[in-house]
Amino acid sequence: MYKYWLVFLFLIIVAFSNNSELDKKETIIGKVVAITDGDTFKLLTKDSTLIKVRLANIDCPERKQPFSTIAKQFVSNAIFSKTVKLNVLKKDRYRRYISNVIYDDSLSLCHELVKNGLAWHYKKYSKDSVLQALEDNARRNKLGLWQDKNAMAPWEWRDLKKKKSKQ
């Protein structure tokens, strides 16, 4: 009888773990219908579902930060109104699809933003050596936001803004 209970318990655990959203990496294809900022946009899927997408492993300048408008325009030029492929890693607490985005058949939006000095590699959440190499190169060549010797990472800028609002 004990063995049956163990098998039953095992089957329940497997069933529930397989039902959790995005356990396996999911691929979604859709058309970009809105650009929120340099690292967030809205995508309309083939079944007419509108989803919010947040680029994985990078962070673009926040609104009112230098280069935020340029990053947003870069993303708009790259993907707006185009069909893109999302390699979804997970959903965040805001229900955004954290994704690597492929456009024009083979370009990684995350890589292109970092390569052009329009985003930071978000090392707190990523150990991606390619993104780090792209950021190091952009810094070395003073591309985009790296022209500013006092460039402030968006997470630091958000923290500073929170501290100021508490005063």
Catalytic residue among 21, 62, 93, 135: 62
Is 112 an active-site residue? no
Is 96 an active-site residue? yes
CA pair distance 28, 43, nearest whole angstrom? 10
Catalytic residue among 26, 93, 96, 139: 96
Q: Specify the 3-state DSSP secondary structure of 92.
A: coil
Burial of 27 (0-12, 13-18, 19+ CB in 10 A): exposed
CA pair distance 100, 75, nearest whole angstrom? 13
Catalytic residue among 21, 54, 63, 140: 54
DSSP at 130: H
Is 54 an active-site residue? yes
The residues that are catalytic are 54, 62, 96
